[in-house]
Amino acid sequence: MSDDYDATHIQVLEGLEAVRKRPSMYIGSVDTRGLHHLVYEVVDNSIDEALAGFCKNIDVSINADGSVTVVDDGRGIPVGNHPKYKKSALEVVLTVLHAGGKFDKSNYKVSGGLHGVGVSVVNALSEWMEVEVKRDGKLYYQRYERGAPTSDVTVIGDSKGTGTKSTFMPDSKIFETTEFNYGTLITRLRELAFLNRNIRISITDSREEELEQDVFEYEGGIISFVEHLNQSRTALHKAPIYFEREKEGTIVEIAMQYTDSYGEYVYSFANNINTHEGGTHLIGFKTALTRVANDYIKKNNVVKGDEKLTGEDIREGLAAIISVKLTEPQFEGQTKTKLGNSELKGIVDSMVSEGLSEYMEENPKVAVIIFQKALDARRAREAAKKARELTRRKSALEIGTLPGKLADCSEKDPSVSEVYLVEGDSAGGSAKQGRNRRFQAILPFRGKIINVEKARLAKVLKNNEVLSLITAMGTGIAEDYNIEKARYHKVIIMTDADVDGAHIRTLILTFFFRYMAPLIDAGYVYIAQPPLYRIKKGKAEHYVYSDRELAAKLEEIGENNTYVQRYKGLGEMNPEQLWETTMNPDTRTLLQVTMDDAAAADEMFSVLMGDEVAPRKAFIQKYAKEVVNLDL
Ligand code: 0RA
């Protein structure tokens, strides 16, 4: 072998070693989020192959042993000799950092960005990985362990057709958890199917005896996405409005539909990545929409004088997807989810301008309905402003007046302070007695919390429970929100483990999601996990948190009819028990609420809290486990 070969060989190993040493640099984190990125990375390569026009079907499965397989019917990763590395191109793709899937730059590669790090990263972070390629009538195979090949690329049979099949087992030495969540994968794979019309993506979970399977394929693409977002809302016009434009290799697609709801549900994507932080494409869209609306109402005398709509007014009740695909995306911002390409602003602005003006001309009745709604929003916004000023003045006057029912902690440093939001007076009483009053505050809820999905801000601010929640948090809400003023860095929702408890928890979370999103983003929101059962055997006591744990514990202590108490509510626990099981930082378990995917969370809240019963039922049946956990 030549010196050249040795040198590149060493470089390859050093590259993979770097990935294993600092995995977070390549996949963001080694928690459940990073774990799922492995799957997205592999799937992205198949999506690229589909966007290049060579692949139609992508099948993902979680196997019984916990590994994941991704199969596509693309051209298959090339297997021939790679001139620089002097080995099979397949091996290069799997073992060389940033080699990516494509050698040919003219290939239309759109995935990438956030997790476009290449499959070699997945390989490096897997205990083992196996790849099969169907090409030229043959079936090629190679296996790797922690990134290093355990064999050469070998022909193991004949093949019909072409494609790539990759199976990997995430390395438990790297990841905090190696258990894939079916619901998490479904959400992203369905989103990919919406964003890339006519690709068929299936997912199968073979871990339990009963197979789970879902297939996603949308002829309507992002039009279907918008219909999906609005499934439990009442639309103001039948079909979503849709525009598409291609300019110098950049594709822009927009779908939008108004409903009678009060929220704004506008999501932007660049190369299939959710641009949480927005960017030029989103600015172009918003600017054009506001301008077209104001031009129209003026020209058609919808308003007298020069009343103007703000962007917020015209986006009330709007669900929209802006999806752009471009060859050289510039991702900026804190989480690299802000599109920076300046040319996009103009492209999107002019296409929305032209497209919408034309739509309004052709559908004047729809235009009137939409603008009436925007004018309503404008009036409500002014009323809300007054109401907010009132609450602000009130709290400024009654300086330091926290809600009467808040039992505050003595600690003044927010970073070590916690507040428990507790359902009902009796549980509130136990929590007050059981807590450590130095750093734990208790805010009990008595009355109904308003469903913020169904009311505008002015009305929300009249709800007593919401008002005391806002004052206790100290941060203000919506545009006035200031996370720096947060009085507690742990806000813990503690409700009964029953249907009513789940409902109250969802109401509180919906409020946080719509009006205090930064609180969730900051990771300050948690859900307490009270036990379901207490087992008493002689003098020993055990608390268990699920039916499965109950069965396991009974077997462990060799009993089947020990004294078992089922807790129907928090109120049945005395203060000491509540402290021991649910509030003591040394022994409790808290679920942190995360907002990985705003569109998915949005879907969940609108379905759970919206008008339509059928989608809610279907959703709860499908995600029963996740709904109970509310792990967004
Ligand atoms: C490089 C070149 C070609 C295909 C691919 C990569 C490719 C990569 C992956 C990764 C997952 N599935 C994939 N499918 C294809 C084209 C080679 C040719 O000209 O045939």
Sole residue written with tokens 């959400």:
187
Atom 20 (ligand 1): residue with closest C-alpha? 75
Least trusted range by pLDDT, from 94-98, 227-231, 510-514, 591-595: 591-595
Q: Assess whether 516 and 541 both reside in one domain.
A: no
Atom 1 (ligand 1): residue with closest C-alpha? 102
Please compute the mean of the pLDDT values over residues 520-545 and round it to a whole number.
Answer: 89
The two three-digit tokens of residue 29, written as one number:
């984190």
Atom 2 (ligand 1): residue with closest C-alpha? 102
Q: Is the dihedral of CA 13, 17, 19, 20 positive or negative?
A: positive
Task: Report the distance separating Cα 506 and Cα 140, nearest Å.
Answer: 50
44 alpha carbon – ligand 1 mean position (Å): 12
Active-site annotation holder among 48, 496, 597, 626: 496
71 alpha carbon – ligand 1 mean position (Å): 13
| Residue of 339 and 115 predicted with greater confidence | 339
- The reported pLDDT for the residue numbered 424 is 84
pLDDT in tens, 545-558: 888 889 889 988 88
Sole residue written with tokens 């009355």:
447
**Paired sense of beta strands 138-145 and 154-158, if any:** antiparallel
Question: Please, are residues 414 and 490 in contact by the beta-carbon 8 Å criterion?
Answer: no
* Confidence class for position 601, pLDDT limits 50, 70, 90: low
pLDDT in tens, 127-159: 999 999 999 999 999 999 999 999 999 999 999
Pocket test for ligand 1, best of 47, 69, 77 (most atoms within 8 A of CB): 77
Q: Assess whether 376 and 491 both reside in one domain.
A: no
* Confidence class for position 404, pLDDT limits 50, 70, 90: confident
Residue 4 lies in a domain: no
Q: Assess whether 419 and 408 both reside in one domain.
A: yes
Task: Report the distance separating Cα 544 and Cα 8, nearest Å.
Answer: 55
Closest CA to 524 of 400, 606, 416: 416
Question: Please, are residues 185 and 41 in contact by the beta-carbon 8 Å criterion?
Answer: no
Say how many domains are in the chain: 4
What percent of the chain is predicted at pLDDT more than 70?
88
Among 385, 407, 433, identify where a domain stops. 385
Ranges of beta strands (E only) in 125-264 are 126-135, 138-145, 148-149, 154-158, 163-170, 200-205, 212-216, 241-247, 250-258
Active-site annotation holder among 205, 313, 316, 423: 423
Which atom in ligand 1 lies closest to the alpha carbon of residue 102? 1
Among 216, 232, 267, identify where a domain stops. 216
**CATH number, residue 96:** 3.30.565.10
pLDDT in tens, 258-267: 999 888 999 9
Residue 498 lies in a domain: yes
Q: Assess whether 233 and 339 both reside in one domain.
A: yes
| Residue of 84 and 583 predicted with greater confidence | 583
Residue 41 beta carbon below 6 angstroms from any ligand 1 atom: no
Q: Assess whether 340 and 442 both reside in one domain.
A: no
Residue 330 has pLDDT above 60, yes or no: yes
Among 545, 566, 587, identify where a domain stops. 566
What residue type is 432 in one-letter code? Answer: K
Q: Assess whether 253 and 377 both reside in one domain.
A: yes
Q: Assess whether 177 and 95 both reside in one domain.
A: yes
Residue 606 lies in a domain: no
Q: Assess whether 406 and 353 both reside in one domain.
A: no
Residue 3 lies in a domain: no
- The reported pLDDT for the residue numbered 627 is 40
Q: Assess whether 302 and 210 both reside in one domain.
A: no
Q: Assess whether 197 and 110 both reside in one domain.
A: yes
Residue 630 lies in a domain: no
- The reported pLDDT for the residue numbered 175 is 96
DSSP 583: I
Domain that holds residue 315: 222-385
Residue 471 beta carbon below 6 angstroms from any ligand 1 atom: no
Q: Would you call 425 a catalytic residue per the annotation?
A: no
Residue 49 beta carbon below 6 angstroms from any ligand 1 atom: yes
Residue 74 beta carbon below 6 angstroms from any ligand 1 atom: yes
Residue 392 lies in a domain: no
195 alpha carbon – ligand 1 mean position (Å): 21
96 alpha carbon – ligand 1 mean position (Å): 15
Residue 631 lies in a domain: no
The two three-digit tokens of residue 348, written as one number:
């999107």
Q: Assess whether 46 and 89 both reside in one domain.
A: yes
Q: Would you call 423 a catalytic residue per the annotation?
A: yes
CA R_g for the chain: 27
Residue 244 lies in a domain: yes
What is the crossing angle of helices 182-195 and 32-51, to 10°? 30
600 alpha carbon – ligand 1 mean position (Å): 31
**Alpha-carbon torsion, ordered 155, 157, 162, 164, to 10 deg:** -60
Q: Assess whether 181 and 243 both reside in one domain.
A: no
Please compute the mean of the pLDDT values over residues 54-59 and round it to a whole number.
Answer: 97
> What 3-state DSSP class applies to 489?
coil
**CATH number, residue 324:** 3.30.230.10
**CATH number, residue 470:** 3.40.50.670
